[in-house]
Each structure stands twice: as C-alpha cells, then as structure tokens.
Amino acid sequence: MLDFTFTEEQEMIRESVREFAQKKIAPIALEMEKTRQIPEDIIKGMADLGLIAPTVSPEYGGQGFDAVTAGIIAEELARADVTGSIPVFYLVQASWGHIFDKYGTEEAKREVLPNVTKGKWFLGIATTESDAGSDVAGTRTTIRKEGDHYVVNGEKMYISGVREAYTRGGGHITIAKQNPELGTRGMTLFYLPLQSKGIIPTYVDDLGREGISTGGFTIDNVVIPKHYIIGEENRGFYIVHEGYEYARGLISVICAGAGLQSLERGKKYLKERKAFGQPLAKFEALQFRLAEHYTKLSFLRLGAYWALWTYDQEAKGKATRFEVSKAIAMAKMFASEWSNAAIDEVMQWQGAFGYTRECPDQAAWRAIRSFAWAEGSKEIMRVIVSRELLGKEYISYK
C-alpha cells in the first residue's frame, strides 16, 4: 500500500523543529558567514531539544530515531539555515552517531555519545585524504596493533568539524589501512579523539557553509585504545559506506529543503516586485521556471524520503544492502544540481540584489554546491546505480 503521510509523532517533531529553527536559527544564519561559528546558544538549544545525533539510542543520550525521522529534522534545519552550516553540523553527527551506536564498543559509546548528544563534543567523519576522496581504497593512513593498543599515522584532509572537535572535544570516525596487502578488506575504522597527542590540525577557507570548519589533520604516532575500534578490524571499508549512505540520504533531503525554501522566497519576491507595470509573477516565462523547479525539487524530496525509508527497511530485514545503496545514490545523484539550479533561478529573479551578500539565496547556493561531492560525488552516485543495474562485472574501474 502506498502511503505518503508521516506519523502523528513525526508531524509533531517537524512542527517543534520548525518553530525552533525559524525562530532561533533563521534570523542569525547570515551572521555565521562572518563569525565562522555556530552560536553556542543554538548548539545548546539543539541539545536541549534532542536534535544532536538523535539517531543514537536513548541509553547514550539520543532519541533512537530512524532515518526518515532524522530526515525530517534535516529538512527543517536546511529550510532555516541558508548557510548550510547547521545542516552539516547536524547531518554529520546524526549519520556517524548512528554508526558509532551500531558498531562502537559499549565502553566507547558510554564515553563518547552522551557528550555528543549534549552538544559538548563534536563527532565527525574522516576518510578523505589529499589523494583519496570517493576512492576510499586509495587511503594512505595506517593503523597497526601494538600490544593492547593501536598506533595511527597519516593525514586526513577536507574534513568537516575539525576545529569543533579540536577545541570542544570529541573526534572523528577515521579509516586507515591495517593490512594494506588485503586492499579494501584490510581497512579498519576507529574513533580518533582530535585532542590526542600527535594531532596537528589545519584549516581550509571554504566557499560556503562557513559556520562550521573544514580542515584536515596530520596523525603522528597517535595511540588509541582497543575499545575505540568501530566494528571488527579490517571491516572498516564496508561499515564506512553504510555511514555514507545515511549521510547521503540526509544530504538529499537537505538539498530539497533548502531549494524549496529558496523558491518560497522567490515566490514572494515575484509577487511583490513589479516590472513594466505588473508583478514579475504575471510573466509566464518566470511562472514556468517556478513550476519546473518546484516540480523537480518536490520529486527530489519524495525520492530522498523514499531512500531514507529504504534504509529503515533494511533494519527491519525488508530491503537488502544493495537496494539501499541504489536508492540512496538515486536520491543524491541530482540533489545538489537541481537544488542549485532552483536557487540560481531565484537569485536571477532578484537581479543585482541576488548577487549581494545580503541576499540569503547566494549563501544557500554556495552551501548546496558542496553537496555535489560531499559524502560521495555525483559521479560516484552514477557508478553505484549503474553497478546495481548492470552487475559488478561491468564496473568501469575494475
């Protein structure tokens, strides 16, 4: 049976998050471009409401939310924060909090997750390196076992939330090669506290979503205890993709939400702004563009929630890993492009104002552009879908 309605509880969640986000986040969003941080009272407000890593189980301070419910929160945050900073802060911790909760050791979960859900620490993901992005197999960072602990060496780059974890506390779920000769079957995932001895952070100047830092860090003989291993040794490559799928699903909803919200602003502008004696909304050429973008983004939104729903079905044993990968990749494939095209159109309607820093849509445009590669590039999404359609024997890079 097809049923496109959310549950009563999910509707209440949406309403509460929307009220909070529109009241507290929307008015200060553009300020984050200048201050380059998320205000502390917003983080506290999110933590008080239970919006940080709500995918984590209640015994570790989370809400135990499924992917669809996590998506609802992501959409509302994206509709309020045009800079995309808070959506990134949210999606990274929701996705990797879920993975930590699912595969982390009891000892590590008790130590880390309550601090994350309370907003004290930041939990991120660090797989990307200067020469290894979507091609995780190209990772150079290594991890070796020494007695009852592990030693890590290497470097990570283009990582969200480096400053947050380095200064507030917390760390990143990190991937490294434990048995390089085994290729993807020799990679291990672990929790790396960024305040560990041997971590040196660096920062990059991002084009958008300035409220949250992007950077990298060198890892010089960093010692981590055994209980920080996430999942089994040498299984990291597979677990990390599960986390990326979660994040990709949330990104798809964020792109839809941010784009639709931009169209809302655009609609208002078209009705108010007059040219040649009538409102811009009376011009059919603009009406058609509005209709087209709205339709595309509505389908994107539906597809994104469907993909997250598929993720939840896997947990119930009703979908396979491959079905999830394909659904998520289909949702994310056009997410950034379609959203950016809609926002670009709204900037165009606003003429010269659309090209100023005062225009919220330019911030949204820059933020959404990042999602064309973040957590898996749009090209990789095509690789995944075609792999599922044609079979592994036709993978182009093998």
Partner 1 sequence: MNILVLVKQVPDTSDVKFDERGVMIREGVQSILNVFDQFALEEALRLRQKYGGEVSVMTLAPEQAKTAVQKCLALGADKAYHISDKAFGGSDTLATSYALSLAIRKAGNFDLIMAGNQATDGDTGHIGPQVAEWLGIPHVSYVEQVLSIENGRATVKSILEDGYRIVDVELPALFACLPPTNFEYTNPSMSGIIKAKSKPYTWWKADDIDGDKSKFGLNGSPTRVLKMYPPPKRSRGTVFTGDYHDAVKKIIEALMEKKVIE
* Beta carbon nearer to partner 1, 63 or 139: 63
Instruction: Identify which of residues 73 and 331 has a Cβ nearer to partner 1 in the complex.
Output: 73
Residues near partner 1 (CB under 8 A) are 8-9, 11-13, 15-17, 19-20, 48-51, 54, 58, 63, 65
Nearer to partner 1, 16 or 134 (CB): 16
User: Smallest gap, in angstroms, from Cβ of residue 53 to partner 1?
Assistant: 11
Nearest distance in Å: CB 50, partner 1: 3
CB of 149 to partner 1, least distance (A): 36
Output the CA torsion sign for 100, 104, 106, 107.
Answer: negative
Q: What's the closest the beta carbon of residue 311 comes to partner 1, in angstroms?
A: 19
In the bound state with partner 1, the residue whose beta carbon lies nearer, of 13 and 281, is 13
Nearer of residues 12 and 182 to partner 1, judged by Cβ: 12
The nearest distance, CB 196 to partner 1, in angstroms, is 31
Closest approach of Cβ 288 to partner 1, in Å?
24
Q: What whole-number distance in Å separates Cα of residue 72 and Cα of residue 18?
A: 10
Quote the least distance from Cβ 7 to partner 1, whole Å. Answer: 10
8 A C-beta contact, residue 176 and residue 186: no
| Closer Cβ to partner 1, 65 or 306, answer by number | 65
What's the CA gap between 225 and 194, in Å, rounded?
14
Q: Compute the least distance from the CB of residue 91 to partner 1, in Å.
A: 16
Q: Bridge-partner residues for 230, per DSSP?
A: 189
Minimum distance, C-beta of residue 69 to partner 1, in the bound complex (Å): 9
Residue 12 or 395: the one with the smaller Cβ distance to partner 1 is 12
HEC-encoded secondary structure of 173-218: EEEEECCHHHHHHHEEEEEEECCCCCEEEEEECCCCCCCCCEEEEE
